[in-house]
Amino acid sequence: MLSKITWFFCVGLILYTSFVFHPQWKCEGNEATISFDVTGYYWYLPSVFIYKDLKHQSFADSIRNKYHNASEFPGFQSGNGNYVLKYSAGMACMYLPFFTVAHIFATLSHYPPDGFSPPYQLGIQIGGILIALLGLWYFRKLLGLFYNDKVVAIVLFVLVFGSNYLNFAALGTGMSHSWLFTIYVFLLLNTYYFYQKPSYKYAVRIGLLIGLATLARPTEIISLIIPLLWGLENFSLAGIKQKFAFLRINIKKIALAIICAFAVISIQLIYWKYVSGHWLVYSYGEQGFSWLRPHIKQYPFNYRSGWLTYTPMLIFAFIGIIPFLQKGKNKVAVLTFFLLNFYIVSAWDIWWYGGRAMIQSYVILMFPIAALVDVALRIRPLKWLIAPFFLLFAYFNLWVIYEEHLKGGLYDPYIMTKKYFWAVAGRFHILEEKKKLMDTDELFEGTPKNMKLLSFNNFENDTGTWCKLPPINGKRSVCINNEHPYSPASSVRGSLLANADWLRAEAMFYCPQKEWNVWIMPQFVVRFMYKGEKLKENCIRVDRFLDNGLTKDLYIDAEIPKQPFDSVMVFLGRGSEESQLPVLMDDLKIWSFNK
């Protein structure tokens, strides 16, 4: 009963987050439900059912220009001239019922039936939520097969309130992770029932579920570990012999499961053959795995999207291995999957894509947590030791989700430093100066002493980097734009800083329109040089601190390096060639000071 009440609270939080806090289906561009990776997953459906153009993608540019849902086409041109989609077709297969309803509605309404208008965004949003709630309900039933109701209730709280599962069940509903979570729930349930009473019905379901998981995300082929090793508690000779005996007796059912899995996976093979002429295509280009050097430390602990850094609740999955080894069930299947999945995720070279890749495996990772909870409920001191951390980590998780989706919020894992993390973690308001720590790990917070003005440039004599915008002061201001990507560099001799501890570069800035894409924001740079080579560089992205039509005085501090240097250059530069918005700079001053 308690677990059912907890389930309803979890449902309430998911629905509130999705439809009240941040109704993503109403958003546009890269905040829309169908954007970025989801665009790639989804692209099969409009290609096949609306534009009937799976090979040539002649509609692609018009859609991208209209909705701005992807920075580039989600695929590449193959050797035969046809276009191959980057992502596999599994998610498109799961989206299909919701796409169909949305397309019928769009056709009968005033919305464009183009595959990307609001009905389609809402359709995928609702579809993702329904799948998540379904998976959560049956996850409760799955845990109830092994643990009592109170343990199940606490684990549901841990999952939804305390992990990034909430973010993708309620907000990133088009992403694959909560959908795959539900697939894993059904895979474990059907595996459990198959081992209780082997039948062709469960074998078919297991095969289809493994096939669909693999079709959605190829690395999920490891899901076959679960039915293969289910029931093993150790690698003893007797246990292995018993396992082989069970498999041999049910060989026909297992063969049927394999056929069903291959039938689903063959959808991708047929697609590749149809568009490229090859049965197998590696569609991720230069992205790949470092199998011999997995990012075991960076992936979970780095301040740039580290899995456990931003989802610390899952630390208890590692702690829970100890009681799980003592009293858990299906130890070999659970722990083998746990470790192999973590290895694969850590081996992916783009390790900073964050903890979302672990979400589907939470179905398995919650078993060690449940074992820990089960022990803690029976040992009072342990319960009171763990409970505050559960609450603290749940608060932190909700804070992360709130700040991530708040425009201009404090949380930005892709541009994160250690100092900024500890300056803002769990807080809702900070001094604006602290935001500089998102770009640099140096920020002087005391009172400067012995400040000396080393250089001043009002750019009145500059004739090369100005534009038609009115200057901030005087007759001219530096203007960086497509034509002028960098301002002239103001330089001071290193000898002038011989007795100083810090350098401060200060200037006035103006932008007619703020750039919100962090990756391409203009950067105010301080660069220490030695014999023509860069020794050290600090920068801040000025648009973090500007608003449309705002003129503002900004400065950046840099600690004087201990190594020899002969000059310091200060300039303003475009963050990327994609940057289109101009920024003005004027009255550049360079100071030295002591702490």
pLDDT digits (tens, 9 = 90+) for 366-416: 999 999 999 999 999 999 999 999 999 999 999 999 998 887 788 877 778
Q: Give the H/E segment covering residue 562.
A: none
Question: What is the mean pLDDT of the segment spanning 205-230?
Answer: 98
What does the pLDDT read at residue 239?
Answer: 87
Q: Is residue 133 pLDDT above 90, yes or no? A: yes
pLDDT tier at 517, thresholds 50, 70, 90: confident
Angle at 460 between CA 458 and CA 462, to 5 degrees: 105
Contact 36, 87 (CB under 8 A): no
* Mean pLDDT for the stretch of residues 461-466: 76
Question: Nearest to residue 128, comparing CAs of 58, 181, 76, 81?
Answer: 181
Longest CA–CA span in the chain (Å) reads 89
Predicted pLDDT at 416: 81
Which residues, other chains included, contact 450 with Cβ-Cβ below 8 Å and sequence gap of 6+? 500, 592, 593, 594
Q: In which band, very low, low, confident or very high, does the pLDDT at 417 lie, cut at 50, 70 and 90?
A: confident
**Treating both helix axes as pointing N-terminal to C-terminal, what angle do 362-378 and 380-404 enclose, rounded to 10 degrees?**
140
Q: Give the 3-state secondary structure of 186-240.
A: HHHHHHHHHHHCCCHHHHHHHHHHHHHHHHHCHHHHHHHHHHHHCCCCCCCHHHH
- Measure the CA dihedral 71/75/78/80, to 10°: -90
Short-list 52, 115, 57, CA closest to 83: 57
pLDDT of residue 245: 94
Q: Are 182 and 137 in contact (CB under 8 A)?
A: no
Comparing 161-170, 324-333, 454-463, the range with the smallest average pLDDT is 454-463
- Residue with the larger pLDDT of the pair 265 and 430: 265
Q: What is the pLDDT of residue 246?
A: 94
pLDDT of residue 394: 98
pLDDT at 72: 84
Residue 142 near residue 181, CB atoms below 8 Å: no
> What gap in Å lies between CA 136 and CA 429, rounded to an integer?
34
User: Between helices 200-216 and 251-276, what is the axis angle to 10°?
Assistant: 30
Give the pLDDT confidence score for residue 359 in this predicted structure: 97
State how far the Cα of 169 lies from the Cα of 130, in Å rounded to an integer. 9
Per-residue pLDDT, 14: 98
pLDDT band at 254 (very low <50, low <70, confident <90, very high): very high
- Radius of gyration over every alpha carbon of the chain, rounded to an integer in angstroms: 28
Q: What's the pLDDT score for residue 378?
A: 94
Whether pLDDT at 424 is above 80: yes
| Strand blocks (E) in 346-501 | 449-457, 478-480, 490-493
How far CA 381 is from CA of 378, 386, 389, in Å, comes to: 9, 9, 14
- Looking at residue 469, what is its pLDDT? 87
Which residues touch 27 (CB under 8 Å, ≥6 apart)? Answer: 33
pLDDT exceeding 90 applies to what percent of the chain?
Answer: 85
Look at residue 157 and tell me whether its pLDDT is greater than 80: yes
Q: Give CA–CA dist 140/13, Å, rounded.
A: 16
Query: What's residue 159's pLDDT?
Result: 98
Cβ(270)–Cβ(89) below 8 Å: no
Contact yes or no for 484/476 (Cβ under 8 A): no
Residues in the chain: 595
pLDDT at site 338: 96
Name residue 540's beta-bridge partners.
Answer: 524
481 pLDDT higher than 90:
no
Q: pTM here?
A: 0.91
> Who wins on pLDDT, 441 or 51?
51
Given this model, what pLDDT does residue 396 score? 97
| Residue 285 and residue 76 in contact, taking contact as beta carbons nearer than 8 Å | yes
Share of the chain above pLDDT 70, in %: 100
Mean pLDDT, residues 447-463 taken together: 92
**Which of 157, 180, 171 minimizes the C-alpha distance to 10?**
157
Cβ within 8 Å of residue 367, ≥6 positions away = 146, 320, 324, 328, 334
pLDDT of residue 219: 97
User: Helix-strand-coil percent breakdown of the chain, rounded to 5?
Assistant: 55, 15, 35
Which CATH entry fits the domain spanning 433-594: 3.60.21.10, 2.30.30.700, 3.40.50.2020, 2.60.120.260? 2.60.120.260
Q: What are the helix (H) ranges across 348-379?
A: 362-378
What per-residue confidence (pLDDT) applies to 4? 97
Q: What does the domain layout of the chain look like in residue ranges?
A: 2-403, 433-594
Across the chain, mean pLDDT equals 94
The distance from CA 397 to its chain's CA centroid, rounded to whole angstroms, is 14
CA-wise closest residue to 460 among 480, 476, 443: 476
pLDDT of residue 218: 97
At residue 532, the pLDDT reads 92
Distance CA 93, CA 32 (A): 20
| DSSP states along 430-458 | --GGGGGGGT-S----S--EEEEEEEEE-
The C-alpha atoms of residue 126 and residue 120 are separated, in whole angstroms, by: 10
